[in-house]
Every structure is written in C-alpha cells, then in structure tokens.
Amino acid sequence: MKIGISCYPTYGGSGVVASELALALAASGDEVHVISYALPSRLVQAHADPQQTRLHYHEVVVPHYPLFEYPPYSLALATKMVEVARHHDLDLLHVHYAVPNAVSGVLARSIVAPRPLPLVTTLHGTDITLVGNDPSYLETTRWGIAQSDAVTTVSESLKRSTHDTFDLETPITVVPNFIDPQRYLRFAESEGARRWASPGEKIIVHISNFRPVKRVHDVVEVFRRLLDQHEARLLLVGDGPERTRVEQRCRELGICHRISFIGNLPLVEEILVGADLFLLPSETESFGLAALEALSCKVPVIATDVGGLPEVVRHGETGYLLPKGDVEGMAQAASALLADDEGRGAMAEAARRDAIERFAYDHVVSRYRQVYTDVLAG
C-alpha cells in the first residue's frame, strides 16, 4: 500500500506512535509518506539512512503574509496532503490527532475527488479531552471525526470520552499504542540510567512534556519522601511550561543535588534501561505511552488510576495504581518496592513480559492494517 501519515513532530505520544507506525509499515514493505511541519524526532535516523527507500518525508511550509496575523497551518497541511496524494498515488491517508489534522484530511479528500482518498483518523487524547473540547474547536473537531472513513482511539477510556464529549454515533475501533521489543535489547547491556547515578543510588524516572496535567510537582513530592529512607536519584526527562516551577520547588526543598533534568531524548530506552522505578502521577492519561515504554524496559510503574492507565499497568503485577493526588500512597508503594530488590526484579520481568504479549508492534500494526483493508474495501 501507499500510505500518507500526518502527525505532529513533537515528543508527545501521538507523534511517537505515528512515527513508529510509519517505520513498522515501511519495514514490512509499504510505501509511507509522512506529512508534517518538521521531521518527527523518531524518524531522523531512518530518514538519513540511504537504505531506507520506503519512508518519505514531506514538509508543510506555511507562508507568512502580513494579511495573516495567524498563519493558516491547517490550509497549508491540506494542500500538502493533496499534493502528496496526487503525485505519489496514495491509497489512503492516516491522520494522527484531530485538530487540525482530521479536518485538513477531510478537506484534502474533497479536493482530490472523485479520485478516492479514504481517511483514517486516530485520536490520541488531548485532541479530545482538552483541545477538541474547547468551544473554539468543538464543532469542527466533531465534524472532522464524523466525516472520517474510519476512526480509532488508543484506549477504551478514550473511546468512551470521545462518544461522551461529542455525542457521536460514529463507530470507533480501539487500537492501542505499541512498542518495539527490540529497542530495549539494543540498550540492555548499556549503562542506561546509571550514567546519571552514583553507586548505590536507586533511580526513579519520570518522562513527560511538563504540562500541568502531568503533575510533575507530585513526582518531586513523592521523591522527597523517598529520600527519608533511600539513597536515590530522580531523572526528569522532557521539557515544557512547568519545568521552571518544578526547578524552583526542588530548590525550596533543598534536593536539587538529587535531581537531574535531562531534557528531551529521542530514544527513551537510553534512560529507562537500568532504572528502578517509573513515576507517572498524571491528572489524566488517555493511554500512557511513557508507562508502556517503561514496562517494556523492565521498569515497574507507579501511576494514577485514571483514563487508560489501568489498561496498561496491571495493579500489583507490573506496578501500582493509586488515586490522583495520593502523594503519600505513591511514596509508600515506591518505598516498599525499592526496599525489596527480589520482588522488584520479579515485577520488572513481569512488566516486560506483559508489555510484549499485549503491545508488541507486530500484534498492533496488524490491527491498523485491518482498518486500512476495511476502508479500502468499503
């Protein structure tokens, strides 16, 4: 097949999943055309590989005219979709994130008509629960979803939220996020997270975009409690609007010497391998891709019992799920795990085993293929 994939190129979950899907499809013989305003970080290495002939990138350039106070990216995106569809004879278009990708996809499909260009839309979370729910975007988001030829969500939780938010009868297929098990193996013998730790320190990791919904302050508060009983180091991976406030809180608590701010990393396996624990105390998570990546790297997860996280983390088996804001409960669960090397090791093995059995890319990509087959047939 010839497949167009449109996504955001940032470090967020939707861009990561779209990039990994593009790589998996290209590896299995499909011709994949990625359409975005920048090359997604996880495609940089593959795009530079001269042996990679099935993966192509098309940049969306938004002209800046004095007339436009806000450059119309959605129109430039639709135009690039049309261009790629016509010149590369795409079989279908798969957009990730509703705003504006789904709406731009519907517009592109209309422009190329009567030539068929089926549109598959994958919803990832904040495009429904935050951005799409905003009155400024709600009606166009609803229309873009309803006009798609197929709609998928990354969790049952997000499927319910989509129906509730937009009062839609549109059929939705759940196709979860996925991992490539080989990524862990490439770094399994490396120092990984231990590069940032002193001998004997337990290593706790948090990865996010540092937005308020991630509750990074709770991560710091949990870690402060752990320091009463354990020699430990916290690795904070990512960047975003809350980082300055989090750094200020670390200074107020006098624990900056125990915390390393790593910034964005294209390959999170580099820092997950060798870690002892992963914290994700989010306000909400439609799936929790960072948690899944931690599990696949043999790192037990302590997270909030919200959204799609119960579909990823098995409470008591691969980690622990606690109520939102229960900093004390998270600290107690984390402390018990850090004190029990044998139990934590058994949980780490169970975490990777479960991640592979349920979320390995070959299982999940085949489900996307079935969606493609259905829309092409229908």
pLDDT digits (tens, 9 = 90+) for 251-310: 999 999 999 999 988 788 999 999 999 999 999 999 999 999 999 999 999 999 999 999
Same CATH topology for 2-178+360-377 and 181-359: the answer is yes
Please state the rounded mean pLDDT for residues 333-359.
97
Q: What is the pLDDT of residue 353?
A: 97
Answer whether residue 64 shows pLDDT above 90. Answer: no
Q: Are 223 and 204 in contact (CB under 8 A)?
A: yes
The number of helix segments (H) and strand segments (E) in the chain equals 15, 13
CA atoms lying within 13 Å on the CB side of residue 129:
17
- E strands, 241-322, in order: 259-263, 277-280, 301-304, 319-322
What average pLDDT does the segment 336-344 reach?
97
User: Tens digit of pLDDT for each residue in 178-194?
Assistant: 999 988 888 888 889 99
Report pLDDT for 131. 67
Q: Which of 37-41, 67-71, 80-84, 318-322 is predicted with the least confidence, judged by mean pLDDT? A: 67-71
Average confidence score pLDDT of the chain: 93
Instruction: Give me the pLDDT at residue 11, please.
Output: 61
The better pLDDT of the pair 214, 50 is held by: 214
Domain ranges of the chain: 2-178+360-377, 181-359
- pLDDT band at 152, cuts 50/70/90? very high
Element (H, E) at 377: helix 361-377
Residue 175 has pLDDT above 90, yes or no: yes
**Sheet strands side by side (includes 232-237):** 259-263, 232-237, 202-207, 277-280, 301-304, 319-322
pLDDT score at 63: 86
What CA–CA distance (Å, rounded) separates 105 from 117? Answer: 9
Find out whether 109 and 93 touch, Cβ atoms under 8 Å.
yes
Instruction: Return the pLDDT at 51.
Output: 76
**118-146 average pLDDT score:** 85
The CATH number of the structural domain formed by 2-178+360-377 is: 3.40.50.2000
Return the pLDDT at 70.
82
Percent of the chain with pLDDT over 90: 79
**Interatomic CA distance for residues 238 and 210, integer angstroms:** 7
pLDDT at 126 over 80: no
Give the C-alpha separation, 276 to 302, whole Å.
11
pLDDT at residue number 132: 62
Buried b (16+ CB within 10 A) or exposed e, 209-230: bbbebbbbebbbbbbbbbeeeb
8-state DSSP, 315: B
Q: Please give the radius of gyration of the chain, using alpha carbons only, rounded to the nearest integer.
A: 21
Residue given tokens 């989090």 in the structure block: 246
| pLDDT mean over 145-158 | 96
pLDDT (tens digit, 9 = 90+) per residue, 201-253? 999 999 999 999 999 999 999 999 999 999 999 999 999 999 999 999 999 99
pLDDT at 52: 82
DSSP for 194-221, please give it: GGGS-TT-EEEEEES---GGG-HHHHHH
b/e map of 131-147 (b: 16 or more CB within 10 Å)? bbeeeebeebbbebbeb
**Closest CA relative to residue 40, chosen from 27, 56, 53:** 56
CB count within 10 Å of CB 186 equals 13
**pLDDT confidence of residue 159:** 94
Task: Classify domain 181-359 at the CATH topology level.
Answer: Rossmann fold (3.40.50)
pLDDT tens track for 280-294: 999 999 999 999 999
Residue percentage of the chain with pLDDT more than 70: 98
The span from the first CA to the last CA of the chain, in angstroms, equals 16
For the cut 90, the answer to whether the pLDDT of residue 378 exceeds it is: no
Distance CA 108, CA 117 (A): 8
